[in-house]
Structure 1
Amino acid sequence: MSTKDEKLGETTGVGARVGHVARTAMNVVEYIRFGGLETGEEASPYDIAARTPVLTLRHYFAQETGETGERTPILLVPPLMLSADVWDVSPSASAVAHLRRSGLDPWVVDFGDPAQEPGGKARNVTDHVLAVSDAIARVAASTGHPVHIGGYSQGGLFCYQAAALRECRDVASIFALGSPMEPLSLPGIDLPEELMQALTRATIDILSRTGLPGWASANLFSWTSPVATAKGRLQYLLALRDRDALLPRERQRKFLAGDGWITFPGPAIAEVMESMTNERFVRGGLVFDGRTVSLADITCPVLIFTGQLDEFAPPRAVRDVVRGMPRAQVWEFSMPTGHFGLGVGGRANRQTWPTVARWTEWVDAGAASADGPPEGVQDAREVGVEDRAEQPPSALRQVVNVATAAAVAAPGIAKTIVDRVAGTIAEVTTDTVEQVPRLLRLERVGATTQVSYGKLVAEACADDPEAVALLYGGHAFTRADITREVDDLVLRLLAVGVRRGEHVGVLCNSGSALLSTAAALSRIGAVVVLLRPGGDTATELRLGRARRVVVDQAHAGEIDGSAVTVHLLGSGTNGGPNHLGAIATEEVRVPSWYRPDPGRGRDLAFILFSDGSDGIRPLPVTNRRWALSAYGAASTASLTAADTVYSANPLYHPSGLLLATAAPVASGARLALTDIFDPDTFWADVRRYGATVVPYTWSMLSLLLARPVEADERHHPVRLFIGSGMPPAVWRGVLDRFRPAVVVEMFAAARTDAILANVIGRKVGSVGRPLPGTAAIELAAVHPVTGALLHDSDGYVLRARRGRPGRLLVAVDREQPAWEDAPMRGVFGPKDAWIDTGELFVRDADGDLWPRGRHGEEIRTPSGVVWPREVEQILSGVPGVDQVVCIPEGDGAVALVTAAGRMPFDEGRARDALSRRDITDISVAHTPGLRTATADVAVRVVEAIPLTRWYRPDRKFLAAQSS
């Protein structure tokens, strides 16, 4: 090469480098001034099909007429933090354009930017879900076809919720791109649960008032993968010299870097986080416009897209939707991409949108074609839902939890909590710490403490008035709703002359009316006499010393002939002078003596009734006893605001009042009520309300075990069944069939402050030990045949030895109110006072108590004494036994058995168990004098054992039938 050519080459090379530098400089200037490069690309065309205060409904390519009616409509829903342009970022990354080319008719929901829309920053989730539901209806009406709906991230959640709200009306199918069922978690950080919950609550509280600006949303998503974000920005800056290479992805980059992000309204943030934190998407119990909704109402096909590299919505969090949709067929398409790659970019063009197009075609063909689902789509249930069982706590979590317990608890009480409730460090760190404040309050409820049902209702409302408190009849009522109803009823009751300390009967169905009436009477300071519908009303009125009754229309006839003043509940105004609904509350003059919630711990709060061998017995309940039950049950069940207690027990039954109503109010949990326990609708109700805790009485759950397994039972949300009297055979059946739910058996001694609970739940049939803060107990030694108390040479009662039956005595104050049972004095010492409950228990080597029945229930035969409860416990452990009840027959005893059906009942093994007194399951030592009597009990298989309305075996009916 000549010297001249070399010089020309050098000049050309220098010129090229100068040109590159100049072009790079121009690109940098354009980037700095405008945030990116101008591409000249145009968005896909659309018409505005509808405009409402919350959304604008876009119809893409609407001007291309002639074949629109033949195309399948598809509705796309964006998440709140991204603009609706996410579906049309650029010609090369346009979901609507791709779907149009695939033969579909694309429509898009546009919520606008809440920061620019009137009232946008005040929008909540309900506003958006109702808007999506409205969009579905409009598209279906316009096209004449059911609509395939799909959303990205939170937009997918909106699709789920709107479809559930509509019960899939006009919805052909749902697809969701990376829609998680739980909040964002920070990878690699294992914060203690209590600390994480506190941080979450604080964050929600702040964001609910401020919202989340678009720039903050963009940064939040960048922080989920900071290394990748920084690397991408650096690569872009280094490539600014090559404009042609950058332009095809420039609009996508600008969209994700900031242009596409919009304000997230504060109220919506609070609702989304509350629903995710409390798992309402999976459990059920979502509330829209006062209606309860569950994803279990979805029955159409569902396709979820999961990103294998998605840290914002990990596949397990997206796949969790399977647990919430037991009636739907859920399919999954997994992609090797992150969160944004599911809906935007080259991989979405190659995989997401072709799969969506094939999916809609497959569903429209009946989702049953011989070729099966589209390629790559698999049954999400076959992929598997991650086990949600608790993992052992980390060392950090244990240290912080134990420190928390030590900080909030007085040393003596902390030791009591550790020793009497948890038993081990692991149990303290995982379950008990959150209950420490409640246990402390339980310890401090005394005779003069100001506490009552009405007061707790008022305190809960003051803490969070908009929190949902009651779910009933498919509707949701907030704490403010309940308080307004209670305050209104207080004025009506004051107007008719109800006074503090007066005994007032209440007779109505177990529903919101009974709750409100009881709370209103409690707020006045009156005594609530809970009458039982269909019972001996005249006797209960006399025993309860009630001179007036508040009654609903359905039960007004049961008061006829009684010499009491009757006040009718209801909203009518034509019921006469005694109709509470006819009173003009604005004209009521509040008497000067009235002070809200005056009740003290020693004051009588409720009177309930039970049926005993000696007839109807009143059960007085003081405010202290109610509070002990409230805090005790709430602590035993580890109730939190995330829980929903589903109560099918009548509220005029001790279990219904104390377990179902007291515990939710004390803990802030929701209460879901039904008027009657119906096994046919039980699991549907559990799903609708998102029930996590279910109180029971006696053999109630045997009715569930007798039913075939149904779809709603799979991945059910119930974590705990809590109650009293569950037969061991039913208990084992519940643990086996309804896992991972556990059983907590409790025993509240009538007319005392003693509460026992099998907190750990490992010993089937045991009632455990006394809860902290409740009354002290002792087991008094009894004669094995007569049941009489045994005394020492000084006349003091002997304590029962471990493994021997003893009668439960409960310590009481020496200055007990007049309405309580008269205590025995000088029992174990010269100055003590105890109530004899008449209940027999055996204490095992660990200190846990096992029920043996009530003194007086024993069956005396020529061979000796038979204790029915012992026989029932022995036979409950025999394979094939479903239910068993022991009753007298002639001069002997017979055990009536129903077979479980899962395996044949072996009568020979049952006889052998009675003869040997096989007591492995109840940890009870042999008692002299009873071996022969137990062995002589006859065994008979029957088709069914009738139950009382409390689900106890109806012994009286059975005994009458056998006599």
Structure 2
Amino acid sequence: MKFSAQGVVGSVRRLMSTAQNGLEVVRFGGLTQDVESSPFEVAERRRVYRLRHYFPERAVPGSPVALLLPPLMVNADIWDVNAEGGAVGILTKGGIDCWVVDFGSPATEEGGWERDLADHVLAVHSAIDTVTEATGSDVHLMGYSQGGMFAYQAAAYRAGKGVASIVTFGSPVDIVAGIPFGLPYGMVSEVADFVADHVVNRLPITDSMVRIGFQLLDPVKTAKSRIDFLRQLHDREALLPKERQRRFLNSEGWVGYSGPAAADLLKQFVVHNRMMLGGFVIRDHPVSLADLTCPILAFVGEVDDIGQPAAVRGIVRAAPNAEVYESTLVAGHFGLVAGSAATRQTWPLVREWVDWMNGEVELPGEIVPMSEHVPSNRPRSAITRVAHTAATMAEAGTGVGKILETLANNTVRSSRELAGEAARALPRLTRLGMIQPHTRISLGRLLAEQARRAPRKDLFLFDDRVHTNAAVNIRIDNVVRGLISVGIRPAMRVGVVMETRPSALATVAALSRLGAVAVLLAPGGELRSALEQTGVDTIVADPENLRSATASGARVLVLGGGDARRLDIPLSDKVIDLERIDPTDVRLPAWYRPDPGLARELAFVLVTGVGNRLEIKYITNHRWALSAFGTATSADLDNKDTVYCLAPLHHSSGLLVSLGGAIAGGSRIALARSLDPARFAEEVHRYGVTVVTYTWTMLRDILDAEPFRNGHRYPIRLFIGSGMPVGLWRRTVEQFAPARVLEFYASIEGDVVLANVTGAKPGAKGRPVPGTARVELVAYDPMTARVEVDESGFARRCADNEVGLLLGKATESIDISAGGMRGVFAAGDSWMPTENLFRRDSDGDYWLVDRKDTAIRTARGPVYGGPIIDCLNDIAAVDMEVAYGLEFGDRRIAVGAVSVRAGFELDPGDVTEALRALDPDKRPDLVHVVDDIPRSASYRPSVRAVRAAGDPKPGPNTWWYHRESDTYEVLTDAAAREVYGLP
């Protein structure tokens, strides 16, 4: 066998070069090189960051300015890894003045391990101010990975001030749409929630942990790069151009991650997905990307498994008020900003983007408007990804690939969601089932439990401020001390007359914690009559309602008002300012026990109506808890939800559904000052509202205003409330699709709670909520106001679609002496009748048809207002409507009154077609058009106001039902005499 001397020499040289280079790598961590870092000066030093100014000697006044932001896990040298071929090198050559935020390493910075997410966002906010002041120009804010998230967040926090544009690289926004490696969001969310609460807040994430974690995200590429390095270790000239990048990735480029910042990231943007939904919190300030208005360019890596394309493209939906563009590259996460692809494509495109923003060039063809409907990967991306991965595996010499790119399909995802709903519902229903008359349960108690369990968690939002469980609990305890100091004791009835505000919530909760009874009174109501009928002699009022409260003659305690509070009434023995009482000076009496309320005890009194028509509703702690847990279960509320409380707290929907459901579900509560469509649209985005509560026709004002124009997206998934007419229901689901409506019915008299959970039947009240009272429908004659019985003497159950009286099974906590019934279906059984008449369809869903006392008793039998209202409201031209009875001598007729929507016309033919759904005997005798239908404080159309405006008169806007023609026709004088029974 012959050997080539030249080959032997070459092999020996190669071996010696390999050994020499390997020894250098072992001793110094890499090969020595002549490439120097780009020059910079530190223009500013702050506690959380240093601000680098690159090539300061080349800065030209008036030139475009870029402020670059690294992610927390990577040091600021990421922008200079390739020196002249890197970000700052290429951009500076293009005439752009480059500044870089350097967060440093938490391991070496003072207090570094205690930094939270807000520290870094506010650092960017501060750096923008510094750069704009130094240069006199707005900045192009550029961020890689989480640095891009910081760019979005900081720009939104400052409402775009000083930001010319935002450029991001692999920065995820919609976490749900782009979980890395296709993992199911439900599983990732649960793990992230646990890790945020129990791991990262106790365990520092060091630079080595970050490096290993990043490498494990793509082990094939990591292995390939190491194999390539070993194969070329003999060839120093081939390795040197990539040595700086290799050392950056292998060791020098990684920094630790502080636990609080990691917990915030997981909580706000993984568990709650608030980059997408809005409502993320920066130092008690809620922020939404919907506040962004500057142009945005997002670079998308087609083979990026960290910043998944679908997650990155979420920005086009999250920022509906901004022009959003994208540039898609065949690159991984790191390759978007460093390496040959970034040198060739990314940074030249960024330079052209800035030039285009300045009006100097045309927009490059590689930059296109981002489309909301782009799939998670473009059609060619799947092939590109396979080819890219296959090439990587082949070069690395391995035959093992990623067999499963997606671990769960939609069916599995749906199953997990259903399982999650069941898991959330079970403990709520279990707790409901365990409540006995002597069980301690109350609003104050549930709030105290939340404060102990999650003190830092957000509880409610109001006027762009976020209040945590702990802060609210302290405020409640302070108000309790103030109430005790002025003589309030358990079981006392105390009036509350306040606008929707934090102090109103604190007052109601403080009375609950004290064991007193909160009598909730509507501002502007007739207080004197309400106080007499409820036995109240002390009122808690805010400054706005102080004058009317003192006019009632009661003792008034003033609370709230904020920085702008001003009292128009002088203080006295009967007007006491609770805000002037120092809670630390109040000694708690021996009798005080926090949250003593038992389930059977009275908790709230709701007063509605006016004058001598006041309606007083008594709510026990059990009744409140029933609605709270029932709402949370039916609406599947959890800690990812933000419930927007449009209904005032003095209304049953505000107290029982909004406040109760949110607290029982662990959701955030957003309090609305009033029904203002413009403010509604702003706060829905800024707070990340997922659930909106309503009463009656409240949503009509919002729908008419069309607050989300031009197809802008919103995070709302559900509207919950009671009393919404059918037509308004249909308009709501059409305008807010895919959000749905969840309509409730809750009796005050017993424990009956119905819910139309699916929303498939607009107008239906649904079925009994699990854990609430069993219901029955008994035959009832409105003409005689008596329950019908069978031959045995027991009440007769209604057949399907027969109108009857709704009963709820009475529990031990219900006093049936206050209107209950015994021996209804069996000897000794006990039931509590509601005040309402229902029908039950063949599917088991219940439909409200009228109240017992408002059913119209005509000569042809009872006529029910509910079906008439639903039919009329389903006419597109009808704005609002009421149904009522009119008496003329001994004759009583049924009347429908309607108002017409602006820009629409209504004719008798529309009314005829709409009312064909009803039996002729159940149709109104007259339908007339009125200019306006006033509404009550709860947005319920007022029959009383319509009747006070006068009876229907013959003319073109009044139509009568002509039985022979089966149509509605214009009411003439002759027809009026026939209808009214006049000679």
TM-score by length of 2: 0.88
Please tell me whether residue 102 in structure 1 is matched to residue 94 in structure 2: yes
Given candidates 913, 918, 925, the residue that maps to 1:937 is 925
Q: Secondary structure in 1 aligned to 2:603?
A: strand
User: How far off its partner does 1:15 sit?
Assistant: 2.4
Q: 1:360 and 1:632 mapped to 2: Cα distance?
A: 55
User: How far off its partner does 1:670 sit?
Assistant: 0.5
Question: Partner of 2:868 in structure 1?
Answer: 871
Q: 2:578 and 2:276 mapped to 1: Cα distance?
A: 42
Question: Partner of 1:893 in structure 2?
Answer: 894
* CA deviations over 1:669-714 (Å, ceiling 9, x no partner): 1000012111222111101111000011111111122124634862
* CA deviations over 1:175-229 (Å, ceiling 9, x no partner): 1101012559776665582x44432222222012223211221222222222222
Question: Partner of 1:408 in structure 2?
Answer: none
Q: 2:149 and 2:245 mapped to 1: Cα distance?
A: 24
User: How far off its partner does 1:547 sit?
Assistant: 2.4
Q: Secondary structure in 1 aligned to 2:771?
A: coil
Please tell me whether residue 228 in structure 1 is matched to residue 221 in structure 2: yes
Q: 2:353 and 2:469 mapped to 1: Cα distance?
A: 44
Q: 1:190 and 1:130 mapped to 2: Cα distance?
A: 32
Taking a change above 3 Å as real, the CA distance of residues 316 and 907 of structure 1, as seen in their structure-2 partners, is farther
Given candidates 749, 768, 771, the residue that maps to 1:770 is 768
Q: 1:386 and 1:621 mapped to 2: Cα distance?
A: 50
CA contact (8 A) 1:48 1:59 kept: yes
* CA deviations over 1:825-859 (Å, ceiling 9, x no partner): 22222212222212011101111101101112123
User: How far off its partner does 1:526 sit?
Assistant: 0.7
- Identify which range, 108-117 or 178-187, moves more after superposition: 178-187
Q: 2:487 and 2:777 mapped to 1: Cα distance?
A: 47
CA contact (8 A) 2:309 2:376 kept: no
Please tell me whether residue 958 in structure 1 is matched to residue 943 in structure 2: no
Q: Secondary structure in 2 aligned to 1:63?
A: helix
User: How far off its partner does 1:587 sit?
Assistant: 2.1
Question: Partner of 2:384 in structure 1?
Answer: none
The number of equivalent residue pairs is: 907
Letter in 1 for 2:703: L
Q: Secondary structure in 2 aligned to 1:710?
A: coil
Question: Partner of 1:637 in structure 2?
Answer: 635
Q: 1:565 and 1:902 mapped to 2: Cα distance?
A: 50
Letter in 2 for 1:896: A
Given candidates 299, 311, 329, the residue that maps to 1:305 is 299
Please tell me whether residue 267 in structure 1 is matched to residue 265 in structure 2: no
- Identify which range, 183-192 or 801-810, moves more after superposition: 183-192
Given candidates 337, 349, 356, the residue that maps to 1:343 is 337
Q: Secondary structure in 2 aligned to 1:680?
A: helix
Given candidates 196, 200, 212, the residue that maps to 1:207 is 200
CA RMSD of aligned residues (A): 2.6
Counting only pairs closer than 5 Å after superposition, residues 785-804 of structure 1 correspond to structure 2 as 785-804=783-802
Question: Partner of 1:669 in structure 2?
Answer: 667
Question: Partner of 1:606 in structure 2?
Answer: 604
Given candidates 460, 464, 467, the residue that maps to 1:470 is 460
User: How far off its partner does 1:584 sit?
Assistant: 2.7
- Identify which range, 308-317 or 892-901, moves more after superposition: 892-901
Q: Secondary structure in 2 aligned to 1:896?
A: strand
User: How far off its partner does 1:559 sit?
Assistant: 2.5
Letter in 2 for 1:143: T
CA contact (8 A) 1:693 1:720 kept: yes
User: How far off its partner does 1:147 sit?
Assistant: 0.9
Counting only pairs closer than 5 Å after superposition, residues 14-93 of structure 1 correspond to structure 2 as 14-64=8-58, 68-93=60-85
Q: 1:236 and 1:136 mapped to 2: Cα distance?
A: 40
CA contact (8 A) 2:125 2:154 kept: yes
Please tell me whether residue 722 in structure 1 is matched to residue 720 in structure 2: yes
Question: Partner of 2:280 in structure 1?
Answer: 286
CA contact (8 A) 2:678 2:707 kept: no
Identity score, percent: 39
User: How far off its partner does 1:150 sit?
Assistant: 0.6
Question: Partner of 2:937 in structure 1?
Answer: 949
Given candidates 839, 845, 848, the residue that maps to 2:845 is 848
Letter in 1 for 2:196: I
Letter in 2 for 1:824: M
Please tell me whether residue 833 in structure 1 is matched to residue 830 in structure 2: yes
Given candidates 131, 151, 159, the residue that maps to 2:143 is 151
CA contact (8 A) 2:526 2:610 kept: no
Question: Partner of 1:217 in structure 2?
Answer: 210
User: How far off its partner does 1:598 sit?
Assistant: 0.7
Taking a change above 3 Å as real, the CA distance of residues 773 and 393 of structure 1, as seen in their structure-2 partners, is farther
Letter in 2 for 1:250: E
Letter in 2 for 1:704: I
CA contact (8 A) 1:114 1:262 kept: yes
Taking a change above 3 Å as real, the CA distance of residues 947 and 335 of structure 1, as seen in their structure-2 partners, is same
CA contact (8 A) 2:181 2:305 kept: no
Q: Secondary structure in 1 aligned to 2:787?
A: coil
Please tell me whether residue 749 in structure 1 is matched to residue 750 in structure 2: no
Question: Partner of 2:909 in structure 1?
Answer: 908
CA contact (8 A) 1:808 1:839 kept: yes
Q: Secondary structure in 1 aligned to 2:640?
A: coil
Q: Secondary structure in 2 aligned to 1:962?
A: coil
- Identify which range, 579-588 or 725-734, moves more after superposition: 579-588
CA contact (8 A) 1:683 1:713 kept: no
Taking a change above 3 Å as real, the CA distance of residues 783 and 618 of structure 1, as seen in their structure-2 partners, is closer
Q: Secondary structure in 1 aligned to 2:12?
A: helix
CA contact (8 A) 2:327 2:367 kept: yes
Q: Secondary structure in 2 aligned to 1:69?
A: coil
Letter in 1 for 2:60: T
Taking a change above 3 Å as real, the CA distance of residues 685 and 192 of structure 1, as seen in their structure-2 partners, is closer
Taking a change above 3 Å as real, the CA distance of residues 282 and 598 of structure 1, as seen in their structure-2 partners, is same
Please tell me whether residue 479 in structure 1 is matched to residue 462 in structure 2: no
* CA deviations over 1:360-379 (Å, ceiling 9, x no partner): 121222xxx8x753221111
User: How far off its partner does 1:359 sit?
Assistant: 1.0
Counting only pairs closer than 5 Å after superposition, residues 267-416 of structure 1 correspond to structure 2 as 267-276=260-269, 277-365=271-359, 373-381=363-371, 384=374
CA contact (8 A) 2:677 2:707 kept: no
User: How far off its partner does 1:903 sit?
Assistant: 7.8
Taking a change above 3 Å as real, the CA distance of residues 585 and 602 of structure 1, as seen in their structure-2 partners, is same
- Identify which range, 566-575 or 91-100, moves more after superposition: 566-575
CA contact (8 A) 2:460 2:669 kept: yes
Taking a change above 3 Å as real, the CA distance of residues 382 and 798 of structure 1, as seen in their structure-2 partners, is closer
Counting only pairs closer than 5 Å after superposition, residues 516-555 of structure 1 correspond to structure 2 as 516-555=506-545
CA contact (8 A) 1:811 1:835 kept: yes
User: How far off its partner does 1:726 sit?
Assistant: 0.8
User: How far off its partner does 1:246 sit?
Assistant: 0.9
Please tell me whether residue 733 in structure 1 is matched to residue 731 in structure 2: yes
Q: 2:127 and 2:551 mapped to 1: Cα distance?
A: 58
Question: Partner of 2:976 in structure 1?
Answer: none
CA contact (8 A) 1:183 1:273 kept: no
CA contact (8 A) 1:296 1:712 kept: no
User: How far off its partner does 1:934 sit?
Assistant: 3.2
* CA deviations over 1:610-653 (Å, ceiling 9, x no partner): 22896112111111111111111111111111110001111000
CA contact (8 A) 1:894 1:939 kept: yes
Please tell me whether residue 242 in structure 1 is matched to residue 232 in structure 2: no
TM-score by length of 1: 0.90
Q: 1:682 and 1:762 mapped to 2: Cα distance?
A: 26
User: How far off its partner does 1:258 sit?
Assistant: 2.1
Q: Secondary structure in 2 aligned to 1:633?
A: helix
Taking a change above 3 Å as real, the CA distance of residues 935 and 506 of structure 1, as seen in their structure-2 partners, is closer
Letter in 2 for 1:357: R
Q: Secondary structure in 2 aligned to 1:39?
A: coil
Q: 2:261 and 2:694 mapped to 1: Cα distance?
A: 36
Q: 2:179 and 2:278 mapped to 1: Cα distance?
A: 26
Question: Partner of 1:761 in structure 2?
Answer: 759
Q: 1:882 and 1:129 mapped to 2: Cα distance?
A: 47
User: How far off its partner does 1:393 sit?
Assistant: 7.1
